[in-house]
Structure 1
Amino acid sequence: MLSAALLLSACAVGPDFKTPGLPATAQGADYTPAPAPPRTAQADAPGGQSQELLAGRDIPAQWWGVFQSAPLDQLIRASLAQSPTLASAQAALREAEATYEAKSGNLLWPQVNAQLGAQRERASQITSQVPGGQLLTLYNASINVSYNLDVFGGARRQVEGAQAAVDAQRYQVEAVYLTLTSNLVTTAIREASLRAQLQASREVLKAQREQLNVIEKQFDTGAIPKSTVLQQRTQVAQTQATLPPIEKSLAQTRHQLAVFAGRLPAEAGLPEFDLASLTLPQALPLSLPSELARQRPDVRASEAQLHQASAAVGVATANLYPQFQLTGSYGNSATRARDLFSGPTTLWNVGAGLTQPLFNGGALRAQRRAAEAAYDSAAAQYRSTVLGAFQNVADALRALEFDAIALQNQATAETLAKQSLDLTTTQFRAGAVSYVQLLTAQQAWLQTHTALVQAQAARYADTAALFQALGGGWWNRGELANATIAPASDAAPAPAPAQN
């Protein structure tokens, strides 16, 4: 019977998990119906360099290094070491690994327990054949063995599901890692953008105050009416009123950056960022669509959850079949401690059992239907995650394309507005144009200059978004995040070494 059971245990009921294939259209050479141009537009402004998309180029593990900012690199490395969000995800991974080991030990191996005991009891006259009964102490020592034969693979499916849970949590850690580094980069870029906007507003305010001094002197000589002075003072006050909201946003951004870094907002030592300290990379990697699902940690986590749901179907199916159990014990029992391991005190037993569900109100079959429905839900969620991944890349590619064009146009508009303001200022001082024309030129330059700064920051943010959408290069690190157990699913193919 044991030999037959071991033979049968070579198979397992339920579906054998296979990695889902990508949609046929995802095997193509691009992410959008209209392929993005291989090179973006170039603008005559800081951050306006043309960027080239290199299909098939690998992504470095420390992808933020493409911005060539030592303070940013140091901040991210320190943040990874002290981020509570990442620490929580890593602890959850260790929990999943320990759960896997516990299930493997409990379900796949015999359970052996030693038992040693002493019991004081009074036996009745009928039992002991002693008049009035007998008071005695019973000593026993034994080894007990039990083993559930996994004939239909239910235990192995449970272990398979636990290992898939480890895989899912491992990729969740990678997703948290990628999200954290991306948040740090984009927040640093937002800080740099706000600093540039604040600097631009202060430059405009300085120019307006200088103009106010000129106008007040003209008013003192009777060359212009007081209404012109009041208009200029109003303009200065309005420009000055725009500074506090920018300063508030900058302070809040700094606070957010500190929290992402695992620090209190009041802690010192947080570096400051401006656009001049960042370098816009001119060569950008672009993974092939067929590789994206193996590189996105959220897709891999969703795949592992689908694997876990598949294993649950196998467990529910195995519960419909007979359960086999082998038990045995060997030991000694005596009424005196000194006789416990001597004399005719040895006892042993060997047993085998079979349990076949006959009637349970349809509960087991309902559980299997529930597991199958959960698998269908996980499969739909996996497809949704894949679609979201392709959308993220497509959005990033289009942002790179159109924001480069927007910066090119905005740089032209800002240059023309500045030339117009300089000319109008000179003419106004010579009395050739009215104050209204000067005011209009000032407002036009302020708007175009602020928009130029925002367009420059968008180029950096678009670059970070592309690296995040492509998975962030986690596969090029020496080890996955605290991984100690080999993934149950097929590992991602090893990409080519990262190129600078």
Structure 2
Amino acid sequence: MAHVIFTRGITRTTAGALTLFALAACSFGPNGEPPAMPSPAHYGAEAQPTQTVPAQGVTQQFVVGAKAVPEWWKQFQSDDLNALVDEGLRNSPTLAATDRSLAAAREQLRAQVGSSLLPSIDAGGQATRERALGIPEAGPNTFLYNVFVGQLQAHYTFDIFGAARLENAALAARVDVQAYQFDAARRALAANIVSAAIASATLHAQIEATERLVTLANEQARDTVRRYDLGAVSHSDALSAQQSAASLSASLPGLRQQWTTTRHALAVLLGRTPDAAPADLDLARIRVPEQVPVSVPSDLLKSRPDIQAADATLKAAAADVGVATAQLFPSLSLTASMGQGGFSWPVALSGAGALWSIGASLSQPIFHGGALLAQRRAAIDSYEAATAQYKQTVLAAFQNVADTLAALEHDAQALDAANFAARSARGIFDETSARYRLGAVPVTSTRSSEQQYRNAQLDEIRYTGARLSDTAALFQAMGNPVQDMQGAGGSVAKN
């Protein structure tokens, strides 16, 4: 009977050990994989066209399934624009600060991995002179002596249930978040520089056209006033001409303020002071890219830095759940020390002064007022929040692409109509000017036809700038090529 009982004891011990190691081997939290997202056939409410309508002689083609372009701003074929972007990427203090923060986070990760997975060994030395009470029967009531000690101390905590490994995985994922955010900041800086340069050039062209319109309106107002003085027109006609000229003049300060603000913003993006704002680009020399890549939704999930950052945040939250779970289980630590010691240097250095100790400590949480369980529930809630945030980030990315695709199609349509109107108005202006030189029409007819042409030109300038800006926005919305994104953040945890 005793033999049977002993066998059962061994069986139970073995089963308990197997259960313990099974728990240690299994994952205490979610795997961190992002939730499955829909893969729409097309981004917008309507299927995107394969190309836009031709505008100013350029038809933009949407190359579905093409890879994102790393240095997409070079597609505009403007050396001046390329130089501005390169300068901004080199000199931006914001980008430099983000880069240094990322470097600091990587070093902190290396420090945590080294301190949590490897034993710590410290050397220590001590030399003291002490005064203690003596034994009255043996002589004086004081006793003076020296103590010399030199030791090596080692400490190691066994990561039985993976708490340290999971903490490292969580920190590594957060470093990946910073890496993707740095890439997003770099691309956003390039996009902001391109947009600001295009906006500044567009506003400059608008100001020039508006200044000419103001000149024509003032000339028209003066002629109308003279005709009123001669009795050829009514007083209301003279006042109406003056009011039109004044209203047009009032629009100029606002345009100039926008232009000035944009130039100041561009200077700061380049790392300059506002007084060193660069000269405006020539809007006519910025080429519209004829081919624009449109990644399929499955590739977009891997190429957008914001989606990749949300994915890394999700992995960090999953690891946090594992850490909170592992803290419910025992913790085993081992300490050891060895050295020499004595009341004099000869004794301390001799074999009689050898010192050593070794010990192990086992800790099992029993009662913490429900804190550990509450921390685990909080970690689970944070993971679920990260899952929802990932879904929202993906949906927002799909919307961003859908909006820019629709904007490009509508920009082309509007620009084509504006270009046709401007060419027609220019034809009328040229014909009227020729007839005026022959004396067939008065100068007012020439002025009126030029006003129509300048107004049509203003619309064309606006839609040209909008098409360029929205093209830049679509390149930006595509993110980075997949291999570049994996290199940007995926390797961080391995460093």
Distance in 1, Cα, partners of 2:145 & 2:323: 48
Pairwise CA distance, 1:449: 2.8
Contact 1:324 1:354 in 2 (8 A): yes
Work out which of the residue numbers 476, 479, 491 in structure 2 matches 1:486.
491
Pairwise CA distance, 1:52: 0.5
Do structure 1's residue 108 and structure 2's residue 146 form an aligned pair? no
**After the TM superposition, which of the residue ranges 240-249 and 360-369 deviates more from structure 2?**
240-249
Do structure 1's residue 40 and structure 2's residue 56 form an aligned pair? no
Structure 1 residues 225 and 207: alpha-carbon distance in aligned structure 2, compared to 1, 3 A threshold? same
**Number of positions where the alignment pairs a residue of Structure 1 with one of Structure 2:** 476
- Equivalent residue, structure 1, for 2:58: 49
Distance in 2, Cα, partners of 1:128 & 1:334: 25
Work out which of the residue numbers 283, 292, 296 in structure 2 matches 1:284.
292
Contact 2:29 2:325 in 1 (8 A): no
Distance in 2, Cα, partners of 1:406 & 1:130: 110
Do structure 1's residue 267 and structure 2's residue 279 form an aligned pair? no
Work out which of the residue numbers 195, 209, 214 in structure 1 matches 2:204.
195
Secondary structure at 1:324 match in 2? strand
Aligned-partner residue type, residue 51 of structure 2: R
- Equivalent residue, structure 1, for 2:343: 335
Do structure 1's residue 158 and structure 2's residue 170 form an aligned pair? no
Distance in 2, Cα, partners of 1:306 & 1:186: 32
Secondary structure at 1:266 match in 2? helix
- Equivalent residue, structure 2, for 1:224: 232
Work out which of the residue numbers 327, 352, 360 in structure 2 matches 1:352.
360
Distance in 2, Cα, partners of 1:324 & 1:29: 54
Work out which of the residue numbers 303, 310, 318 in structure 2 matches 1:310.
318
- Equivalent residue, structure 2, for 1:461: 469
Do structure 1's residue 98 and structure 2's residue 103 form an aligned pair? no
Secondary structure at 1:35 match in 2? coil
Pairwise CA distance, 1:475: 4.6
- Equivalent residue, structure 1, for 2:153: 144
Cα-to-partner distance string for 1:321-377 (whole Å, 9 max, x where unaligned): 000001111011111123321140101111111001111111111110111111111
Cα-to-partner distance string for 1:127-170 (whole Å, 9 max, x where unaligned): 99765241111110011111000000001001111111111110
Cα-to-partner distance string for 1:260-282 (whole Å, 9 max, x where unaligned): 111110126x2421311200011
> Normalization by structure 2: what TM-score?
0.86
Aligned-partner residue type, residue 470 of structure 1: M
Cα-to-partner distance string for 1:235-288 (whole Å, 9 max, x where unaligned): 4444333322211211111001001111110126x2421311200011111111
Gaps of 5+ in 1: 490-500
Distance in 1, Cα, partners of 2:92 & 2:226: 58
Matches within 5 A, 1:7-18: 11=25, 13-15=27-29, 17-18=31-32
Aligned-partner residue type, residue 25 of structure 2: C
Work out which of the residue numbers 150, 169, 177 in structure 2 matches 1:168.
177
Per residue, is there more helix in 1 or in 2? 2
Structure 1 residues 130 and 420: alpha-carbon distance in aligned structure 2, compared to 1, 3 A threshold? farther
- Equivalent residue, structure 2, for 1:471: 479
- Equivalent residue, structure 2, for 1:394: 402
**After the TM superposition, which of the residue ranges 410-419 and 255-264 deviates more from structure 2?**
410-419
**After the TM superposition, which of the residue ranges 366-375 and 224-233 deviates more from structure 2?**
224-233
Distance in 1, Cα, partners of 2:21 & 2:347: 43
Secondary structure at 2:51 match in 1? coil
Aligned-partner residue type, residue 38 of structure 1: T
Distance in 2, Cα, partners of 1:70 & 1:477: 26
Distance in 2, Cα, partners of 1:180 & 1:20: 28
Pairwise CA distance, 1:393: 0.5
Distance in 1, Cα, partners of 2:423 & 2:155: 84
Distance in 2, Cα, partners of 1:455 & 1:71: 22
- Equivalent residue, structure 1, for 2:383: 375
Contact 2:29 2:321 in 1 (8 A): yes
Cα-to-partner distance string for 1:195-244 (whole Å, 9 max, x where unaligned): 12112112323444565676678778x58348466654554444333322
Percentage identity across paired residues of the two chains = 36
Cα-to-partner distance string for 1:163-191 (whole Å, 9 max, x where unaligned): 11111110010010111011001111111
Secondary structure at 1:242 match in 2? helix
Pairwise CA distance, 1:419: 5.2
- Equivalent residue, structure 2, for 1:31: 43
Contact 2:170 2:315 in 1 (8 A): yes
Cα-to-partner distance string for 1:426-446 (whole Å, 9 max, x where unaligned): 8999798997x9998676555
Work out which of the residue numbers 414, 425, 433 in structure 1 matches 2:422.
414
Distance in 2, Cα, partners of 1:261 & 1:422: 42
Distance in 1, Cα, partners of 2:137 & 2:79: 88
Secondary structure at 1:351 match in 2? strand
Distance in 1, Cα, partners of 2:136 & 2:99: 61
Distance in 1, Cα, partners of 2:272 & 2:183: 21
- Equivalent residue, structure 1, for 2:70: 61
Do structure 1's residue 20 and structure 2's residue 20 form an aligned pair? no
Structure 1 residues 426 and 217: alpha-carbon distance in aligned structure 2, compared to 1, 3 A threshold? farther
Aligned-partner residue type, residue 460 of structure 2: L
Structure 1 residues 69 and 133: alpha-carbon distance in aligned structure 2, compared to 1, 3 A threshold? same
Contact 1:191 1:250 in 2 (8 A): yes
Secondary structure at 1:224 match in 2? coil
Contact 1:64 1:185 in 2 (8 A): yes
Contact 1:38 1:54 in 2 (8 A): yes
